[in-house]
Structure 1
């Protein structure tokens, strides 16, 4: 311990109501706080200079309106983990410090975040941010207290104290948070852990609403597809699919998918494709119909085409489409009679 002699004007101590010992304590505390505020010493060193414990020194800082969290210039250690700390002593450096404080205050006052810091012993040295109000906490409420006394889920915190950077999301106090736990090293390992919690509740709600809308659209799309592919069980082990309107590639794919799923579930013997509502048949349309019939046959079902009108039949012949291996009927009822006759006939039909 180094002793320092200070000359004080006569009567000064009496006017302050202090004796020599009290004056010395005040001087040590004032010097420690000033050097800490100017980032010349660490919080631990400042507490030692003041002759106080870490918690007592933090409490003194709070009483006098000095932030307990400061980046210091005297913490040795791994340069990779040390933040850049401006030198103090000239106007430019002071302006840099003031700018950093201004930037930090602006963020903490306007962005829904909670920023905090603990030392290696778990003492909270900084706690601030707009997001605290959303969960009923005051700014700096826990400064000077041990985080392990009030924070129960400490798994990520202990990982950070062990030197691991941790990032994750969780729901806490009815809010959704994205959290970062960042270890800061000094010469003796992890000296502090800085935590940042971003309130993403509104974003999460927006994502949930968007997901719900997408699911609704998909359900509606499925209903529309079912309506556009009206597969009807017209008799025991007989399914019918009336086709109407345009028969493009997209609709052909939907029809094939829905029809194959239906026959696999119903296990019919016959599937009737009724073309009564199809006005125009080109090569592409005919080939798609043939592909559907062949897919049914591969699964062991018999495909029948009905509702081929004169104009459609003429177009198929003119296009040279071979339907010789496909059972066809002019009317749906004729195709249905064929199916019923074979279903009621004895033996294999």
Structure 2
């Protein structure tokens, strides 16, 4: 008979459609119906106490109501916000009565509508809709985590599928103090306190290999007053960060390749002791000319060159700005104590340089690279006084003689 009664009682708790519970006098849940498990989660029935499941702001009121239950021999009804299986707080209407010996409490729960007396019906609907939208967003968006703190730094909301990426469970911090969690990190705790007096803050962080884009929003009723809570929203941006890093690597590779191409297209060659030549081929633009100027001047100083030959044989067209840069380059070469020679100027390039109206009287030009090299070697031979140790200069061909 007793076994049958126990089986019937077990089936009652399993099949009863209402959230029912049996609790000890101190509020520890001893047994609950399957409907209650669906409300607060199975883990909450493993010896959890109702005050632990209650919203921090409701715990004092719950304690007072629980005292009334234990002190009366009649049912006592009250409303309390309890943490559900997803970590959110739900308003629940509780009806409870103590056992005859006062050692236990029997109770039932049902959903209690959010009632804000000063709000009209449509405003209440809007408020409930907003709360539901937040819950749905946190529940179904893989890359988001949402949390909120009350004025004392206690977590009142902690949801989002993105939490798992940081090794956390939804609702794990509910009822916990953010300041206690960071007790060993005084700088972090101090920064969290300052946020209550600050403005909206956005920053990026990394946790468990996940990159987060974070917003922390102070919640205040009037501008300028201390916030009565904080809202935090974190979005997983790891994928976009990965794409950004890959793009940066590709851009760096392209830049390096372009530098190699430019170096190959404008090689500075020491064709003779003290004579540098720079053959330029293809299109000459302002960027390339500036790079050539830096490289050539550095080589002149490093090798102590006396002559620098700019071979424009392979250049068909230059714009007016580049032509002006070439004149400046020749002037800079002279300031370093060397002589700049321009060789192989094409007719189109010559026309451009003349059209600029620049003073070309001091510009040393030769018809080709051989003539320019011949000029440089002869000049160095004359400077040495044609000593026996001086290298013999090649004799110019009749077409190269002035």
* Secondary structure at 2:82 match in 1: helix
Alignment RMSD, CA only? 4.6
Q: Deviations over 1:102-158 (max 9, x none)?
A: 321232121522111223333222100121011221111121223334344434322
Structure 1: gaps of 5 or more residues: 1-15, 23-42, 54-58, 71-84
Q: Greater CA radius of gyration, 1 or 2?
A: 2
Give the equivalent residue in structure 2 for 1:183.
218
Contact 2:283 2:318 in 1 (8 A): no
Give the equivalent residue in structure 1 for 2:145.
114
Equivalent runs, 1:117-132 vs 2, <5 Å? 117-132=148-163
Q: Deviations over 1:8-43 (max 9, x none)?
A: xxxxxxxx9899999xxxxxxxxxxxxxxxxxxxx6
Contact 1:86 1:93 in 2 (8 A): no
Q: Is 1:231 aligned to 2:258, yes or no?
A: no
Give the equivalent residue in structure 2 for 1:150.
181
Q: Is 1:339 aligned to 2:369, yes or no?
A: no
Separation in structure 1 between the aligned mates of residue 328 and residue 239 of structure 2, nearest angstrom: 50
CA drift at 1:100: 1.0
Give the equivalent residue in structure 2 for 1:292.
329
Change (3 A) 1:273 1:130: same
Equivalent runs, 1:230-269 vs 2, <5 Å? 230-247=267-284, 251-269=288-306
Separation in structure 1 between the aligned mates of residue 25 and residue 351 of structure 2, nearest angstrom: 116
Higher strand share: 2
* Secondary structure at 1:154 match in 2: helix
Give the equivalent residue in structure 1 for 2:132.
102
CA drift at 1:333: 3.5
Q: Is 1:171 aligned to 2:206, yes or no?
A: yes
CA drift at 1:240: 0.2
Separation in structure 2 between the aligned mates of residue 160 and residue 313 of structure 1, nearest angstrom: 66
Give the equivalent residue in structure 2 for 1:10.
none
Superposition TM-score, scaled by structure 2 size: 0.58
CA drift at 1:272: 0.8
Higher relative contact order (CA 8 A, sep 6+): 1
Aligned residues: 294
Structure 2: gaps of 5 or more residues: 1-20, 28-54, 66-79, 92-114, 386-402
Contact 1:88 1:94 in 2 (8 A): no
Change (3 A) 1:86 1:232: farther
Contact 2:285 2:319 in 1 (8 A): no
